[in-house]
Amino acid sequence: MNTVEFLRSTPLFASCSDKSLTSLASLARTREFAAGDQIIREDTGSTMGFYLLLEGSAVVTRGDTLLAEYAPGDYFGEIALLLDDTARTATVSAKTDVKVIVITRWDFRALVKTNPEIAVELMTVLAQRLADTDRVISE
């Protein structure tokens, strides 16, 4: 599966046009992490931005608490695409050897200027995650 097809297979980008996905894929960089490596670290700033898991699995922790486990197609770091100098709220570590797509904040912001539908998709996902978090907190 090529990068455009993989992006299309994820809920975040499923409704984006071919043009937008091709533009996004052209910005994507592939990076690999060994099992145990920290991909992002809690309470640190990041300029890297967004990660989309291609292969392997990763775990999300806050302090010593396991929050989630990610599989191929899952993504994280999307808040860093929109907000400058925001500290990461959790640590994401490779559980197995992983391969990720990385999209930097600068590349994403340049792309949004010509493909605003991508920003709309991201805002929709962020709103859904916020609603899910509110629901968990209220239970």
Q: What is the pLDDT of residue 35?
A: 98
Q: Residue 42 in contact with residue 90, Cβ under 8 Å?
A: yes
**Domain range list for the chain:** 3-138
What is the arrangement of strands in the sheet containing 75-76, beginning at the earlier edge strand? 29-33, 98-103, 50-55, 75-76
- pTM here is 0.79
Residue 47 has pLDDT above 70, yes or no: no
Residue 107 has pLDDT above 70, yes or no: yes
Q: Does domain 3-138 have CATH number 1.10.260.40?
A: no
What letter would DSSP give residue 84? T
Residue 122 has pLDDT above 90, yes or no: no
Angle between helices 18-27 and 116-138 (to 10 degrees): 80
**What stretch of H or E contains 5?**
helix 3-9
